[in-house]
């Protein structure tokens, strides 16, 4: 049976591109009304909205930088004004600013932590306030609200040259678990998704040439790159009542990237 999110309101951050876009599309297919958050690219957000509407769904776009408290608060105020409540938050917005550790600037460290980690804090806090205020409404869902935190295999796999990114994802893991523990008595579920290599603009250099893709596939036992729809379908299921007993854990969706593929030939 397909997961149903009928009548529920969802916010997906960074939904104008890549995984966020795939998640928004799958939530809409499951019946949710989806708010498409974007930072700068209005046209791309508009395209996502149009695609969802063409597919029979409902969506609208809101511009907000998730690392800015005032913009996040204004975004939630706009959502509550339009729909009166919210049921699902997908904390997806994220970026990389890569460099060798000794060359990493404080600015690049702060940018990645502020968007990838603090952005999840700011959005989750606003969502949790509304979930607690409204409580469980059985016709909507068995939970008062669902928060999905987009992490990465790099919440457990160290990543030289990407220290700010890996630290942000490791931080998301403990952030997700701690708020899951605190919010469970309010019937709020908090879950992480740890994607492996998913074909999006963030990692284009890793799949855009056959040579790069071949090298990438040596890290993926299942021998294919993931697609945004893979993650989108998982997010829709995790947000649904079919996953009602899951909270405080990360589900890795990575074609086996976390299986130490270097040991496949006896190490």
Q: Rounded distance, CA 255 to CA 19, Å?
A: 16
Largest CA distance in the chain: 58
Tokens of 191: 């879950």
CB of 23 to ligand NAD, least distance (A): 9
Burial label for 201, CB within 10 Å (0-12, 13-18, 19+), is exposed
165 in active site: yes
Residues that bind ligand NAD (CB under 6 A): 13-14, 16-20, 37-39, 65-67, 92-95, 115, 150, 152, 195, 197-198, 200-203
Angstrom CA distances, 19 to 13, 68, 161, stand at 10, 22, 23
CB of 8 to ligand NAD, least distance (A): 22
Chain position carrying tokens 């702060």: 110
By beta-carbon proximity to ligand NAD, the closer residue of 30 and 220 is 220
By beta-carbon proximity to ligand NAD, the closer residue of 19 and 180 is 19
DSSP string, 144-198: SEEEEEE--GGGTS--TT-HHHHHHHHHHHHHHHHHHHHHGGGTEEEEEEEE-SB
CB of 260 to ligand NAD, least distance (A): 18
By beta-carbon proximity to ligand NAD, the closer residue of 136 and 237 is 237
How many residues are given for the chain? 267
By beta-carbon proximity to ligand NAD, the closer residue of 108 and 241 is 108
CB of 176 to ligand NAD, least distance (A): 13
Among the options 38, 165, 222, 260, which is catalytic?
165
Active site residues: 165
């Amino acid at each position: 049976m397909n997961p149903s999110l009928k009548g529920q309101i969802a916010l997906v951050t960074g939904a104008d591109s890549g995984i966020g876009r795939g998640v928004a599309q799958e939530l809409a297919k499951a019946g949710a009304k989806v708010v498409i958050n974007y930072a700068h690219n209005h046209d791309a957000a508009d395209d996502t909205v149009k695609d969802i509407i063409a597919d029979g769904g409902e969506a609208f776009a809101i511009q907000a930088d998730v690392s800015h408290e005032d913009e996040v608060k204004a975004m939630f105020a706009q959502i509550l004004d339009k729909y009166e409540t919210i049921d699902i938050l997908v904390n997806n917005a994220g970026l990389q600013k890569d460099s060798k550790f000794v060359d990493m600037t404080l600015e690049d460290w702060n940018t990645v932590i502020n968007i990838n980690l603090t952005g999840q804090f700011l959005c989750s806090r606003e969502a949790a306030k509304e979930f607690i205020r409204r409580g469980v409404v059985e016709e909507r869902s068995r939970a008062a609200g669902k928060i999905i935190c987009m992490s990465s295999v790099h919440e457990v796999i160290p990543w030289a040259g990407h220290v700010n990114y890996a630290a942000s994802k490791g931080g998301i893991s403990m952030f997700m678990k701690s708020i899951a523990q605190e919010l469970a008595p309010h019937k709020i579920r908090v879950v992480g998704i740890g994607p492996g290599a998913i074909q999006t603009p963030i990692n284009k250099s890793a799949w855009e040439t056959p040579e790069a893709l071949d090298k990438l596939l040596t890290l993926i036992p299942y021998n294919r790159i993931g697609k945004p729809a893979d993650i989108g379908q998982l997010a829709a299921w995790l947000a649904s009542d079919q996953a009602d007993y899951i909270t405080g854990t990360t589900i890795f969706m990575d074609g086996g990237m976390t299986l130490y593929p270097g040991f496949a030939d006896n190490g």
